[in-house]
Structure formats: structure tokens, C-alpha cells
Amino acid sequence: MKHLLSAKDLSREQAVLILDMAEQMAATQARQVKKLPTLRGLIVVNLFFEDSTRTRISFETAAKRLSADVINFSPKGSSVSKGESLKDTVLTLGAMHTDAIVVRHYASGAPYTIAHSGWTDASVINAGDGTHQHPTQSLLDAMTMRRHLMGPNPLGQGLDGVNVVIVGDVLHSRVARSGVDLFTTLGAKVTLVAPATLLPVGVETWNCDVSYNLDQALAEVKPDALMMLRVQKERMSAGGGGFFPSPQEYTREYGLDEPRLAALPKRTIVMHPGPMNRGLEITSGAADGLRSVIVEQVANGVAVRMAVLYLTMTGAEGGEA
Ligand code: NCD
């Protein structure tokens, strides 16, 4: 696979291959010497037009663990602040023989444009584009679910029979979109829960159920995995833009708190892609509690990104994902 642009492009076989490869990569990270020579001599550029902590550091760690050279680009301090276009930025990287471009951009579709523009021969990996897709996030989420929910040997498996409930700001969430695509490809059933104002137009055509009532959805679905989404204030106009009446009301209707946590089945894992608004969509008790796998999600992110960089940059498996 040359690029990873969307979770939608992955077949079940490709997704399972990436997850299995990520398990192999994770095993190497338990060794004392964690660095592999696999991508020695190759250059990975992190091209991040939007803020990021964990995704950027995770890609950087993954690339370095595979011995690639990593260049971090952020528009602040670059010629982008002088008005240089995406095209000229990518042409410049292409002229420097960059082997992979990991791109996060506020415009949905930017990674696709870079991959198919002819501006560069590099592999393009989408690290989040607008409200559209974030495929490596859904892969790390699937890896985390598979480890917890699919028995002692997850290798070769999808997520058959797993019930996933995703709660919150679906409207602005590329995590939710990628998650619905990937988890259902892997055999899971997904239910989205949100106020009507935070659901996108056309959500009824997505391959999932939709509910406006969290308590009812939790009681009916009895989720194996409960994923809380961040309320993405930066994508709302100042003051919340009328998406919900008040933070208190949002928390009361859609927040994960101790009573809701206590009512979940014993096996349910609690997930969040980060960064969290503690006290808004999730309480600290839920975020740090025994069922929380939020820190594991971050650790699995490195293994998944090692697998994706390896598979795209070495062309280890045919076709474009
Ligand atoms: C997510 C993102 O940027 O889409 N964060 C992440 O990559 N871990 C989710 C979010 O910002 O809420």
C-alpha cells in the first residue's frame, strides 16, 4: 500500500494485516533495544497545519524507532506564514526527496490532493484532515479493542460481535467518521450518541445506529467499548455556537460520570482519543479509572504508526489503501 488516506479505503484483510503488523511492532517495543533498522536512510516529514500533541509525537516516535530521519514542519515559522501555498510547500518537499509525508490539515481532502497531485512521489499518510478522516486513530482504537475484547490471541481477527458506542461531538469528529468506517469493516456494530445539533446531516446513511439518549443507548446496547469524543470548541463559533445550551447541560446529558460508569457491564472499556476536556465529556474518575484504556490507546498509536509507515514506505503489500 502506497498511501493511507482514509479508513474507508481499507479492506478487512488490509486492516487486519496492519493490526497484526502493529502487534509485531509492539513486541519489538518490549525489548531493551527498541530501534529497528527497517527505514534507515529514508526521510519522513511531519507536515502539521493543525495543532497536535500525541499524533505528531507518536508519528515521530514511530519513524525514529524504524530508523527513518524525521523532519517536523509546522506552518508557524515556515514560509506558509509568508503565504506559501500547499502546492509550493509540497513541491519543495518533493524536490528534497522526501519519502513519506504525514499530513494533518484543517481542510478535508488535503492529504488526497497531495497524494494524487503529482507534486511528490512520497507516500502520504493522513494524520487528520478537517472533520473528515483520521485513519491511524481508528486503527489504534481497533488495536486497543482487539487486545481487550477478542481473547488472548487477537492475531488474524477483526472485531466480530463487538458493540461500540461513540458519544459526543460527532459533527466535528474525524475520529467518529474513521471509527464507523473501520470498526464496521472489521465486523463491529457501532452506535452514535449525540444531541441532534452535534450530528452531521446525512448521518442516517452511515453504517451505524444513532441515538439522542445516552442512558437509553447504554442500557440497550450494553457496549463492549464506550468511546467518548472531545467537544471540539475550536470548530464551533465563539461561545459554543448554540450547539448545546450550556456545558452543565451537556455534561448531564452526554458526559461519562461515576453513576453511568457504574451501570456499564463489567467488560466495558472506556476510550477517548484525547485531548480530554475533563469535567465536560468525561469526569477524571472515569478517565483515570480501572476501565479506562486511554493511556493504552496512546501506546498502541506508536505501534500502529510503525506498521503503517513500514507498509506504505516499503510497499510491503500491493495496492493503495
Ligand atoms: C483527535 C483529532 O485531532 O482528531 N485527537 C487525536 O488525534 N488524538 C481528536 C480531537 O482532537 O478531539
Task: List ligand 1's pocket residues with C-beta within 6 A.
Answer: 54-55, 128, 134, 137, 174-175, 230, 232, 273-274
Q: What confidence tier does 238 reach under pLDDT thresholds 50, 70, 90?
A: low
Please write the tens of the pLDDT for every residue from 297-319.
999 999 999 999 999 999 876 44
The cell numbers describing 267, all together, are 467488560
Q: Which residue has the cell 469493516?
A: 185
d(CA 19, CA 23): 6
The pTM score is 0.95
Provide the terminal-to-terminal Cα distance of the chain, rounded to the nearest Å: 6
| pLDDT of 240 higher than 70 | no
Best of 54, 230, 231, 298 to mutate for ligand 1, by most ligand atoms within 8 A of CB? 230
| Residues 271-296, mean pLDDT to the nearest whole number | 97
Please write the tens of the pLDDT for every residue from 126-143.
999 999 999 999 999 999
Please write the tens of the pLDDT for every residue from 80-125.
877 788 999 999 888 889 999 999 999 999 999 999 999 999 999 9
Closest CA to 274 of 301, 310, 314, 239: 301
Q: Which domains does the chain have, with CATH numbers?
A: 7-133+298-314 (3.40.50.1370), 135-296 (3.40.50.1370)
Residue 319 confidence (pLDDT): 46
CA-only gyration radius of the chain, Å: 19
Which residues have a Cβ under 8 Å from the Cβ of 9 and sit 6 or more positions away? 320, 321
Residue 309 confidence (pLDDT): 98
Best of 137, 282, 294 to mutate for ligand 1, by most ligand atoms within 8 A of CB? 137
CB 270 within 8 A of CB 291: yes
Closest CA to 117 of 132, 137, 103: 103
DSSP 46: E
Cα of 52 to ligand 1 centre, how many Å?
8
Please write the tens of the pLDDT for every residue from 49-73.
998 989 999 999 999 999 999 999 8
Cα of 196 to ligand 1 centre, how many Å?
21
Instruction: Name the packing angle between helices 294-313 and 135-149 (round to 10°).
Output: 120
CB 232 within 8 A of CB 106: no
| pLDDT of 220 higher than 70 | yes
Please write the tens of the pLDDT for every residue from 166-211.
999 999 999 999 999 999 999 999 999 999 999 999 999 999 999 9
